[in-house]
């Protein structure tokens, strides 16, 4: 027999999609507050939101009639017709959040428009209306949700520990606070205020508060416009990384959403600066015409569909890359005077492992021409393979005045070059540094100069696995464009005929195996730019001077000079730092001259 479901049951079914946990309640209620024009929102929770979530705002409030309507399914003030559905500017539009939440909790709504004398109080339990009364309250709206899932034990069972649920709520609030920097947020956990974001902030200042101390002074603004796509936001210096993608916040027309393609685009923007397996920190705000994006994909509204995704991805990648490039050149404008970090062993250790932006700043401010501002080498420049053999002065394609380069003192552990520049101790990882130099040279050649191949006197034969052979066959023409000429020799056998000039003196077989292995591993032969990049990185890695190799002072000087002429001298192409530096304050701290 077919029958229409009772209203409470259908609300509970809808709740299954809209309300998964206390954090979803917080999200829906806070979104309603923002839609109601609130300037300040307070979120109070108890027991991870399981026993209570209370959200109060100073927004428009609702009259008695509107309040009663608001708890009805499909009651919304936000859209009227189908045209509105395709140009949604509010967070809510489905008219189901309040009735869904009310159907699985003990629910209370207290609301008052500014011009009303009294507030109305609506109480419900498990979706049943218990009482409607008049009460005194400030203008605005308060929604209290107690004992979530009290009448759906199966759902309640899936809730995690209080701290875990509270963590989800904090994340949700962080996201919404980032997306709405003009709105003030207060979060109170078990009676204790834990977070406070004042109203009227701009995104940069809000991001400093939300993302926390270790990121606060390392954020760079994003600004990019392409046709009708506008990208704004911030990204953190690549030395600040996380082990998951959950600190990449994406807002599309102010709505916090998740989109794999945008995350991949952020990675493309960070390319060459982030170590494998690590995730950058970024807040990406994409604004585009409402009819270019469908937000009605899922009841939780976390998923969206771009009408044409590629231009958006392209814009995001460019925005991030441009911000990092600018930051690299004018760090002073962004980092300003970095507060001296607190003392403590962990602090010292952290500071000594990676170059910090202030290091970038100091190192760079000492380079008047600045990395990235070198004049492009004339066509046909001779690529330098530093370190040059002992005794032969290395040729270089740059004309950096010697007095601006760091003074080199020597090498330790056969790997690190010790230098001083502008009153700072600078340590350079010779392999990472050389990798960067070779990579940029190869890339420059590939993009700006005619193909450069050196034919081998004795072509080298290679034996590959079946999968590898397939992969290689597919990319032979592209490898040839890079200067690596390989021909199939039947079956899984190949012959290497020529290699890029810069790599002429290096073992060929291991290079080709390296390229194929990297491609097999990353499996991204689909995106040509990406795998070409991987090929160049592998070539650079194979060619670069290894750790544990002693270098002459002259070789070191040549390497450092070339490094400082690079576009991105601070990271190897895999994203590791090429140099770390210590200013006087840090040295004094290490030696406890100051505390
Ligand atoms: N904090 C609030 N202040 C003022 N009005 C509110 C508030 N919360 C809800 N409302 C009113 O109640 C209506 C119903 O809210 P509800 O969240 O159920 O639906 P919605 O926001 O329209 O759509 P969605 O289900 O997509 O969230 C809203 O359209 C709005 O008019
Ligand atoms: Mg809503």
Which atom of ligand 1 lies nearest, measured to the CA of 99?
18
At residue 558 the predicted structure's pLDDT band, cuts being 50, 70 and 90, is very high
Structure pTM?
A: 0.67
Closest ligand (CA of 96): 1
Ligand 1 centroid to 190 CA: how many Å?
A: 26
Any idea what DSSP says for residue 404? Answer: G
Q: Could you tell me if the CB of 75 is within 6 A of ligand 1?
A: yes
Q: How far from the centroid of its chain's Cα atoms is residue 21's Cα?
A: 26
Residue 393 carries which DSSP code? P
Q: Is the CB of 93 under 6 A from ligand 1?
A: yes
Strand, coil or helix: 305: strand
92 lines ligand 1 (CB under 6 A): yes
Q: Which two tokens stand for residue 284?
A: 């990406």
Has residue 339 got a pLDDT over 60?
no
349 torsion bin: left (phi>0), alpha (psi -120 to 50), beta (else): alpha
Ordered DSSP codes for 148-162: TTTT-HHHHHT---H
33 pocket-lining for ligand 1 (C-beta < 6 Å)? yes
Dist. CA 412–CA 435, nearest whole Å: 19
H/E stretch holding 522: helix 508-522
Grouping H, G, I as helix, E, B as strand and the rest as coil, residue 144 is: strand
Instruction: Provide mean pLDDT across the span 64-81.
Output: 82
How far apart CA 508 and CA 138 sit, in angstroms, is 77
> Residue holding tokens 């544990």?
548
pLDDT at res. 383: 26
Q: 7-197 — its CATH code? A: 3.30.565.10
How would residue 403 be classed by pLDDT, with cut points 50, 70 and 90?
Answer: low
Residue nearest to atom 1 of ligand 1 (CA): 33
Rounded average pLDDT over 368-380: 31
Q: Kindly give the distance from the C-alpha atom of residue 28 to the centroid of ligand 2, in angstroms, as a whole number.
A: 5
In this structure, which residue's CA is closest to atom 28 in ligand 1?
A: 76
Q: Is any ligand 1 atom within 6 A of the Cβ of residue 70?
A: yes
Q: Two tokens at 260?
A: 């794999």
pLDDT digits (tens, 9 = 90+) for 340-361: 333 222 222 233 233 333 333 3
**Residue 330: per-residue pLDDT:** 47
Q: Does domain 451-543 have CATH number 3.60.15.10?
A: no
Give the pLDDT score at 389: 30
Decide if pLDDT at 412 tops 60: yes
Contacts of 349-352 with C-beta under 8 Å, sequence gap 24+, read: 351/586, 352/580, 352/582
For the Cβ of 76 lying below 6 angstroms from any atom of ligand 1, the answer is yes
Contact between 94 and 108 under an 8 Å Cβ cutoff? The reply is no
Note the pLDDT of residue 53: 98
**pLDDT computed for residue 415 by the predictor:** 93
Residue nearest to atom 17 of ligand 1 (CA): 97
Ligand 1 centroid–CA 395 distance in Å is 69
Burial class (CB in 10 A: 0-12, 13-18, 19+), 392: exposed
User: Taking Cα atoms as reference points, which of 199, 208, 233 lies closest to residue 33?
Assistant: 199
Q: Whose atoms come closest to the Cα of 80: which ligand? A: 1
pLDDT of residue 9: 76
- Residue ID of nearest Cα to ligand 1 atom 9: 32
Cα of 27 from ligand 1 centre, angstroms: 12
139 within ligand 1 shell (Cβ under 6 A): no
Instruction: Determine whether the shortest distance from the Cβ of 97 to ligand 1 is under 6 A.
Output: yes
Ligand 1 neighbour 32 (Cβ under 6 A): yes
Confidence of residue 435 (pLDDT cuts 50, 70, 90): very high
pLDDT exceeds cutoff 70 at 402? no
Is there an atom of ligand 1 within 6 Å of 78 CB?
yes
Residues in a beta bridge with 134: 120
pLDDT at 391 over 90: no
Does the CB atom of residue 430 touch ligand 1 within 6 A?
no
Cα-Cα end-to-end distance for the chain: 79
User: Which alpha helices (DSSP H) does 256-391 contain, by range?
Assistant: 260-269, 309-329, 331-335, 345-353, 357-365
Residue with the smallest CA separation from ligand 1 atom 8 is 32
CA of 70 to the centre of ligand 1 (A): 6
pLDDT at 422: 82
> In the CATH scheme, what architecture does the domain 203-329 have?
2-Layer Sandwich (3.30)
Q: What CATH class does 345-441+547-590 carry?
A: alpha beta
The DSSP secondary structure of 200-253, one letter per residue, reads S--HHHHHHHHH-HHHHTTEEEEEEEETTEEEEEEEE-TT-EESSGGGEEEEET
Residue 413, classified by CB atoms within 10 Å of its CB into exposed (0-12), middle (13-18) or buried (19+), is exposed
How many angstroms separate the Cα of 203 from the Cα of each of 34, 38, 180, 219, 282? 16, 18, 8, 11, 12
User: Ligand 2 mean position to 36 CA, how many Å?
Assistant: 10
pLDDT tens, residue by residue, 230-287: 999 999 988 788 888 889 999 999 889 999 999 999 999 998 888 878 899 999 999 9
Per-residue model confidence (pLDDT) at position 85 = 65
Q: Answer yes or no: is pLDDT of 204 > 50.
A: yes
Q: What is the pLDDT of residue 526?
A: 58
pLDDT at 228: 93
Ligand number, closest to the Cα atom of 141 = 1
Contacts of 429 (CB under 8 A, 6+ apart): 415, 416, 547, 572, 576, 577, 578, 579
Span 281-294, average pLDDT: 93
Domain layout of the chain by residue ranges: 7-197, 203-329, 345-441+547-590, 451-543
- At 373 the pLDDT is 29
Distance CA 544, CA 577 (A): 15
What pLDDT score was predicted for residue 148?
A: 96
Residue of 59, 70, 93 with the most ligand 1 atoms within 8 Å of its CB, for mutation:
70
Distances (CA, A) of 365 to 356, 371, 411, 489: 14, 10, 24, 54
Our answer on whether the CB atom of 12 is closer than 6 Å to any ligand 1 atom is no
Mutate-to-test residue for ligand 1 from 11, 42, 89, 95, highest number of ligand atoms within 8 A of CB: 95
Q: What's 406-452 look like in SS3?
A: CEEEEEECCCEEEEEECCEEEEEEHHHHHHHHHHHHHHHHHHHCCCC
pLDDT of residue 451: 79
Q: Which of 14, 28, 35 for a ligand 1 pocket mutation test, highest count of atoms within 8 Å of Cβ?
A: 35
Check pLDDT > 50 for residue 556.
yes
For residue 71, the CA-to-ligand 1 centroid distance in Å is 9
**What pLDDT does 232 receive?**
96
């Amino acid at each position: 027999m077919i029958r229409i479901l009772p209203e409470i049951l259908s609300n509970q079914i809808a709740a299954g999609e809209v309300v998964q946990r206390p954090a979803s309640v917080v999200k829906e209620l806070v979104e309603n507050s923002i839609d109601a024009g609130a300037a300040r929102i307070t979120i109070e929770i108890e027991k991870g939101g399981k026993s209570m979530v209370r959200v109060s705002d100073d927004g428009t409030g609702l009259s008695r009639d509107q309040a009663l309507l608001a708890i009805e399914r499909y009651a919304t003030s936000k859209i009227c017709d189908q045209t509105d559905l395709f140009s949604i500017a509010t967070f809510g539009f489905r008219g189901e959040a309040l009735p869904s939440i009310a159907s699985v909790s003990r629910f209370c709504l207290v609301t008052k428009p500014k011009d009303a004398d009294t507030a109305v109080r609506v109480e419900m339990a498990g979706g049943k209306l218990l009482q409607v009364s008049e009460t005194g309250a400030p203008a605005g709206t308060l929604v209290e949700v107690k004992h979530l899932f009290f009448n759906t034990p199966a759902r309640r069972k899936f809730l995690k520990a209080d701290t875990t649920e509270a963590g989800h709520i904090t994340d949700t609030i962080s996201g919404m606070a980032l997306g709405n920097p003009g709105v003030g947020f207060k979060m109170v956990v078990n009676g204790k205020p834990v977070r406070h974001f004042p109203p009227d902030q701009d995104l940069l200042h809000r991001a400093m508060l939300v993302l926390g101390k270790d990121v606060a002074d390392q954020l760079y603004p994003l600004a990019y416009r392409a046709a009708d796509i506008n990208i704004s936001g911030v990204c953190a210096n690549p030395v600040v990384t996380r082990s998951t993608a959950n600190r990449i916040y994406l807002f599309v027309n102010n709505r916090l959403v998740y989109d794999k393609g945008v995350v991949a685009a952020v990675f493309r923007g960070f390319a060459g600066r982030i170590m494998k397996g690590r995730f950058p920190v970024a807040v990406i705000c994409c604004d585009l015409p409402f009819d270019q994006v469908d937000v009605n994909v899922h009841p939780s509204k976390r998923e969206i569909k771009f009408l044409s995704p590629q231009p958006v991805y392209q814009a995001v990648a460019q925005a991030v890359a441009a911000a990092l490039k600018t930051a690299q050149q004018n760090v002073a404008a962004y980092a300003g005077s970095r507060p001296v970090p607190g003392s403590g062993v962990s602090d010292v250790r952290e500071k000594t492992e990676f170059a910090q932006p202030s290091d970038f700043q100091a190192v760079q401010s000492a380079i008047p021409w600045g990395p990235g501002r070198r004049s492009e080498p004339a066509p046909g420049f001779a690529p330098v393979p530093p370190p040059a053999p002992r005794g032969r002065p290395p040729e270089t394609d740059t004309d950096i005045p010697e007095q601006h380069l760091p003074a080199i003192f020597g090498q330790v552990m056969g790997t690190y070059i010790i230098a001083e520049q502008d009153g700072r101790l600078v340590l350079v990882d010779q392999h990472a540094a050389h990798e960067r130099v070779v990579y940029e040279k190869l890339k420059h050649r590939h993009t700006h100069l005619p193909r450069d191949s050196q034919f081998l006197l004795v072509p080298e034969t290679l034996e590959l696995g079946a999968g590898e052979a397939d992969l290689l066959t597919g990319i032979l023409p592209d490898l040839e464009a890079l200067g690596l000429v390989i021909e199939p020799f039947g079956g899984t056998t190949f012959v290497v005929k020529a290699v890029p000039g810069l790599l002429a003196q290096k073992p060929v077989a291991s290079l080709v195996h390296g390229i194929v292995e990297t491609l097999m591993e990353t499996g991204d032969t689909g995106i040509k730019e990406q795998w070409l990049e991987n090929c160049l990185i592998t070539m650079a890695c194979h060619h670069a001077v290894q750790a544990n190799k002693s270098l002459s002072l002259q070789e070191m000087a040549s390497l450092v000079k070339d490094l400082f002429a690079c576009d991105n001298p601070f990271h190897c192409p895999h994203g590791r730092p090429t140099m770390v530096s210590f200013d006087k304050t840090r040295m004094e701290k290490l030696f406890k001259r100051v505390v």
